[in-house]
Structure 1
């Protein structure tokens, strides 16, 4: 960053200059410099010695390190008086006028001074005082949202949800957005399908189209430069997620994904959290059914308890119609690769060397692999998704950064009667055996319908199956009422809350993802102060996301609350 006299740049009066004669002025956003260095005017004091021959001029005037504010001018040949930038100008000021002539800051300073004087009126806010410095122009991005992978199975539902949100009654102006993928024809068909379902024949002409490929970093950069928030629907994320995260961070773009793979989510935090914070962008994973209902459900339960919440158990119940339920095999593949690579996840967690989060109140006891939930009158098994990993990371963040009391968490899924238990036991045994071997994983991927007993297929669910399905997630929490501490006391208050919504994978997930992205755009003041890689609960705990979800059909409610 160059230090120039404000009177030279902004036309300030002598009194202002006397107060801060060498106030820093950012050079970011200035016009590119010409290739040749402008000649210096004759010095009024002792002539400056010529630099040694062969010295390189880096980046041209106003380029290279000057634009990046590294304190070094473009004329960097040799050392000493030929260095530009703040340090050199400071040395010349200390040495007196005879050391550096009348041109402060070197040739680059003279050129920048002339540029700033010519563009003073354009760069300053209307009516702003000259004392306020300069306000640089910024180019708005053409799209607020870009759906990456819009032609995929889940991506087409996310595309439809964004199109629905674009013309929602509460929106004052239409949302500028685009779809992105490898094939323009497929993207066009997705838009035509959404237009037909929503009764908006002009939709394809209202939405931008960006052609990019996960294997082409340059195309991802171009895509990211055009978006404020990218909705990444390209999975499995362990194979295709990192290039998108990297491109978004490098280009100052926030990113939302619907990943349910703990290894990818935790690895992205360790690799990119600091880089995202430096750029001021938000990378928020697991923002679909995995794991917004669970993560925000725990936060909602904590907020509704009149006291301190210490432990929560959640029970997921999936309701289906007469045609049953089905899930696309993309989720099946993610589960196969995740279970097949559990050793690396354990290694990652061991290497992180995190301090344990303190336990408040009695330790939450884990249930048996098959247990009976009396409150719901159903058998249950542990939920094998990302919910536990995500909620624990959120509770760590809230405890370490916001000094909130951490909550213990366990997740289960109800499976109905004894017949369903036996069926799932056989499916689970087959899965856990085959997933250990390469050939077994290939068989699981090739025949998802067979090995999952019909729960997963390459075709995915039919529209009738989607329309007839829904989910309910019930939370049972315990804690201490106000004024009643955990020291040598048992929890004396219990609370039951519930999150319920439409079909989980292809209705609730797009709703959650789109509303999370809109929250990034609308509730910026309630987000964490610095950017980074976050869980949904860490990013949105103080925003209005729960209210947005309630309005879109994912309902949070309190069932009961009582003291023991």
Structure 2
């Protein structure tokens, strides 16, 4: 790719998540990796005033007055020409404008047509998979990498499975992950943009099933012991908490990664299941009530309107239109624990039970506005700094497929996320 005015452009920089991505890019730009040549970056969106305000906000928080002079690009999601002009100026666009099912495709289209790399933080499986169907071939022709779900959904899960695989002496064949969220006395909170995405994902799940029928992928081969199915609610002896299947896009993202690694790199596919630990009985009761109303109200338009209008009420305060306070963010963290099984030699998988067990963990700060910006920005930096380690052709990729041969995990370890091996055993 020929040199462009900006290496990174943050689209939607004045949004709730976008402002924290601006802050993270500013930190990275002044870090060791860009100390010699600098990082050329800009912010983009509809309102110059709002973009100026977010640059002022970041300048004040980081005590970096020079941020106020960062370049601004005016463009609108409904103006294809303005999106094209933005993409022509950027090597990588970091798209922070969701819900992506409504606002993501115009940006993907503009990036692909102009040979610009694209990164988003979507947790919307239908959007992610439909972009693969629509743009993979064209992106390959243009040499553009379109990499979705590069935030909390689903960098920890996808890269965590690869970290687990790379941490054993043998062949990993199955992994279960358990997500645990921690908060301080004031609890945890997310901005309601995440809530709106979830509402529309559940309401439109029938179209996702149709899309997957259209893809008609052959099932991946199961190597070794088949991963057991869990219930909708169960007590996990692994994490000593009641747990439920994780409702985000992690499972579908990891499965797409494993398909790519199997079909293109001839690597053994890893079975995967994703769960969320919900705590004790009181948490289970709250979850049951919230889940009942959520599923009921998402089935009709008036119910969806109520869910969107009153996020705090329907989520017991976990989501709000204002988002979390700084104190809530500072006191929040997550851990995702992976329990894997495998074999010292892959041929043993046909003869006996797994003889390797491994437990790893990915942990980090608050998920939505600290971990997500870190993951998104480091994914973008990896594209800039390690082009020779990316897949040989452009296309639409998951994080694990795009970054399996890169040093992304090392980068994340240096910027606040931690990939660790808890235990390993071999029979």
TM range (shorter): over 0.9
**C-alpha deviations, 1:441-500, integer Å up to 9, x for none?**
111111111111111110000000001101000000001113761113111110000000
Kindly report which structure 2 residues correspond to 1:284-323, keeping only aligned pairs within 5 A, or say none: 284-323=147-186
Distance in 1 between residues matched to 2:25 and 2:166, nearest whole Å: 30
Aligned to 1:555: 418
Structure 1 residue 173 displacement after superposition: 2.5
Distance in 2 between residues matched to 1:390 and 1:161, nearest whole Å: 25
Distance in 2 between residues matched to 1:167 and 1:321, nearest whole Å: 31
Aligned to 1:343: 206
Q: What SS is found at the alignment partner of 1:530?
A: coil
Aligned to 1:281: 144
Contact 1:306/1:482 (8 A) holds in 2: no
Query: 1:506/1:363 Cα in 2 relative to 1: closer, same or farther (>3 Å)?
Result: same
Q: Is 1:203 the equivalent of 2:67?
A: yes
Q: Which protein shows a greater Rg?
A: 1
**Match among 144, 147, 153 for residue 10 of structure 2:** 147
Distance in 1 between residues matched to 2:112 and 2:245, nearest whole Å: 35
Aligned residues: 426
**C-alpha deviations, 1:368-421, integer Å up to 9, x for none?**
111111222111111000000000000000000000000000001111111001
Contact 2:122/2:128 (8 A) holds in 1: yes
Aligned to 1:372: 235
**C-alpha deviations, 1:197-255, integer Å up to 9, x for none?**
101112111x1100000000000000000000000000000000000000001111000
Kindly report which structure 2 residues correspond to 1:494-509, keeping only aligned pairs within 5 A, or say none: 494-509=357-372
Distance in 2 between residues matched to 1:528 and 1:536, nearest whole Å: 11
Aligned to 2:388: 525
**Match among 274, 286, 290 for residue 427 of structure 1:** 290
Aligned to 2:218: 355
Q: What SS is found at the alignment partner of 2:177?
A: strand
Aligned to 1:194: 58
Distance in 1 between residues matched to 2:3 and 2:157, nearest whole Å: 35
Aligned to 1:181: 45
Structure 1 residue 139 displacement after superposition: 5.8
Structure 1 residue 559 displacement after superposition: 0.4
Contact 1:501/1:553 (8 A) holds in 2: yes
Aligned to 1:63: none
Distance in 2 between residues matched to 1:500 and 1:538, nearest whole Å: 21
Distance in 2 between residues matched to 1:277 and 1:204, nearest whole Å: 37
Structure 1 residue 366 displacement after superposition: 1.5
Aligned to 1:415: 278
**C-alpha deviations, 1:128-159, integer Å up to 9, x for none?**
xxxxxxxxxx9621000000000000000000
Structure 1 residue 547 displacement after superposition: 0.3
Contact 2:171/2:346 (8 A) holds in 1: no
Contact 2:391/2:402 (8 A) holds in 1: yes
User: Which has the bigger relative contact order, CA under 8 A and spacing at least 6?
Assistant: 2
Contact 1:249/1:281 (8 A) holds in 2: yes
Q: Which runs of 5+ in 2 are unaligned?
A: none
Aligned to 1:92: none
Distance in 1 between residues matched to 2:3 and 2:420, nearest whole Å: 39
Q: What SS is found at the alignment partner of 2:78?
A: coil
Contact 1:144/1:229 (8 A) holds in 2: yes
Structure 1 residue 367 displacement after superposition: 1.0
Q: Is 1:327 the equivalent of 2:190?
A: yes
Distance in 2 between residues matched to 1:179 and 1:453, nearest whole Å: 35
Kindly report which structure 2 residues correspond to 1:397-412, keeping only aligned pairs within 5 A, or say none: 397-412=260-275
Distance in 2 between residues matched to 1:337 and 1:343, nearest whole Å: 11
Distance in 2 between residues matched to 1:402 and 1:169, nearest whole Å: 33
Distance in 2 between residues matched to 1:139 and 1:405, nearest whole Å: 37
Structure 1 residue 169 displacement after superposition: 2.7
Q: What SS is found at the alignment partner of 2:185?
A: coil
What's the TM-score once normalised by structure 1's chain length? 0.75
Q: What SS is found at the alignment partner of 2:65?
A: coil
**Match among 338, 341, 345 for residue 482 of structure 1:** 345
Q: Is 1:446 the equivalent of 2:309?
A: yes
Distance in 1 between residues matched to 2:19 and 2:67, nearest whole Å: 14
Q: What SS is found at the alignment partner of 2:129?
A: helix
**C-alpha deviations, 1:310-333, integer Å up to 9, x for none?**
110000000101100001000000
Query: 1:483/1:201 Cα in 2 relative to 1: closer, same or farther (>3 Å)?
Result: closer
Distance in 2 between residues matched to 1:553 and 1:454, nearest whole Å: 27
Q: Which runs of 5+ in 1 are unaligned?
A: 1-137
Q: What SS is found at the alignment partner of 1:347?
A: helix
Q: Is 1:253 the equivalent of 2:84?
A: no
What's the TM-score once normalised by structure 2's chain length? 0.99
Distance in 2 between residues matched to 1:468 and 1:355, nearest whole Å: 44
Larger proportion of strand? 2
Contact 1:147/1:155 (8 A) holds in 2: yes
Distance in 2 between residues matched to 1:176 and 1:383, nearest whole Å: 38
Q: What SS is found at the alignment partner of 2:44?
A: strand
